[in-house]
């Protein structure tokens, strides 16, 4: 497999800030319809001085699409660099509990975007023809959390320091007869994802203002030197107002960000064998805490029922 060793990953990272090496989420779909790029999303500031100098990279200045890591500013790990500065200007999307959502990402930096970046029939919310990358190029899951704006605060100033509840994970499929038994759905063998995904805000979500955070967790490598123990995180947050017309339940206890993203937290690192897609680590659970199914919190671990490797998917 290309770029499977930590050394190769480090080399790529060191060669960076090369455009297109990384990516950003930038767009939300509500009940299947894409909203305008950036609408309802807290923007990020770019370039931006982080407080942590990535070892081996030798820089604290990060471009828009560059990853954030646990030792960066908590604000960066929560919702993207300097997001609170942009919160006042960000609109709030009205949704009903139970509505379907989806997010789009691109590997092009905003400075490279044109109308054509988003004007195609791909259905993915961005185009993947030409130079615009819609592959993920990283190994790990996508996770989505909600954080209810605390009593007495407003969505336009809330910093995300309250509790976060995970409502969706898109992780791996176990294909023991394939060349890469750990088949990350979004990595998809280095291609664009095989299909769109969507998930629902639980019907039981109480009405109110929420931040919704989507993040890809480019999972860290256990026992590795300093550089790669930190998962590379790609978070973006959108501002929501949730209506609930009678099916509201009670929110469970959530987790804190960045605490739940520390290298020692469940799901934030994997072994070399799992990194190489050969095995799933004993006791592996997805990062970001337990998953709320609307009624209870469940341990969020992969379904290890073997799925046959279909030739057409090239697995
Ligand atoms: C968000 O930030 C990027 C990078 O600074 C900028 O190009 C873009 O225009 C901003 N979007 C909005 C809606 O402000
Ligand atoms: C997309 O293309 C259509 C048809 O050519 C055009 O009407 C529309 O304005 C374009 N939208 C954007 C965002 O470029
Ligand atoms: Cu990357």
Residue 16: pLDDT above 80? no
pLDDT at res. 9: 41
The reply to whether the predicted model has a pTM over 0.85 is yes
Strands 220-221 and 269-270, how do they pair?
Answer: parallel
What integer best gives the mean pLDDT of the chain? 89
- A 10 A CB-CB count for 310 gives 10
Q: What percent of the chain has pLDDT over 70?
A: 89
Identify the residue with better confidence: 60 or 14.
60
Predicted confidence band of residue 194 (pLDDT cuts 50, 70, 90): confident
Ligand 1 site, residue 46, Cβ cutoff 6 A: yes
Domain spans in the chain, listed from the N-terminal domain onward: 5-298
* Cα 27 to averaged position of ligand 1 atoms, centre (Å): 12
Residue 250: pLDDT above 60? yes
pLDDT at res. 128: 72
How far is 191 from 307, CA to CA, in rounded Å?
19
Ligand 1 site, residue 40, Cβ cutoff 6 A: no
Is 39 exposed, middle or buried, given 0-12, 13-18 or 19+ CB atoms closer than 10 A? Answer: middle
Please determine, looking at this structure, whether the domain spanning 5-298 carries the CATH number 1.10.8.50: no
How far is 258 from 240, CA to CA, in rounded Å?
21
How far is 200 from 140, CA to CA, in rounded Å?
21
Strands 48-49 and 61-62, how do they pair?
Answer: antiparallel
Three-state SS at 306: coil
Residues 119-178 have pLDDT tens digits of: 777 888 988 765 457 889 899 999 999 999 999 999 999 999 999 999 999 999 999 998
**Residue labelled with tokens 């998930």:** 199
| CA 116 to ligand 2: nearest atom | 14
User: What are the structure tokens assigned to 257, written together?
Assistant: 């960000």
Q: Which of 35, 119, 122 to mutate to test the pocket of ligand 2 (most atoms within 8 A of CB)?
A: 119
Residues with CB under 6 A from ligand 2: 115, 118-119
pLDDT at res. 305: 96
Cβ atoms of 232 and 71 closer than 8 Å: no
């Amino acid at each position: 497999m290309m770029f499977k060793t930590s050394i190769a990953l480090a080399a790529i990272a060191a060669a960076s800030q090369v455009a297109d090496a990384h990516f950003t989420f930038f767009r939300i779909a509500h009940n299947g319809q894409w909203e305008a790029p950036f609408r309802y999303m807290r923007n990020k500031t770019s370039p931006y001085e982080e407080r942590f100098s990535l070892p081996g990279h030798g820089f604290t200045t990060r471009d828009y699409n560059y990853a954030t890591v646990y030792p960066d500013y908590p604000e960066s790990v929560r919702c993207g660099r300097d997001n609170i500065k942009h919160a006042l200007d960000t609109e709030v999307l009205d949704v009903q509990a139970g509505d379907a959502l989806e997010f789009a990402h691109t590997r092009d930096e905003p400075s490279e975007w044109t109308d054509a970046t988003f004007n195609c029939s791909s259905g993915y919310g961005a185009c993947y023809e030409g130079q615009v990358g819609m592959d993920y190029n990283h190994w790990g899951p996508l996770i989505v959390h909600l954080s209810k704006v605390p009593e007495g605060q407003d969505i336009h100033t809330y910093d995300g320091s309250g509790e976060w509840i995970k409502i969706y994970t898109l992780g791996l499929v176990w294909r023991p007869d394939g060349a890469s038994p750990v088949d990350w759905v979004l990595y998809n063998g280095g291609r664009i994802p095989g299909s769109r995904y969507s998930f629902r805000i639980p019907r039981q979500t109480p009405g109110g203002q929420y931040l919704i955070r989507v993040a890809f967790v480019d999972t860290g490598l256990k026992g590795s030197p300093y550089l790669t123990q930190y998962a590379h995180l790609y978070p973006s947050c959108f501002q929501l107002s949730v209506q609930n017309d009678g099916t509201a339940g009670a929110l469970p206890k959530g987790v804190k960000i960045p605490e739940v993203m520390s290298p020692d937290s469940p799901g934030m690192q994997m072994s070399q064998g799992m990194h190489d897609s050969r095995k799933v680590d004993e006791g592996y659970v997805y990062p970001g805490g337990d998953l709320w199914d609307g009624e209870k919190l469940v341990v969020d671990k992969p379904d290890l029922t073997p799925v046959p490797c279909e030739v057409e998917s090239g697995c």
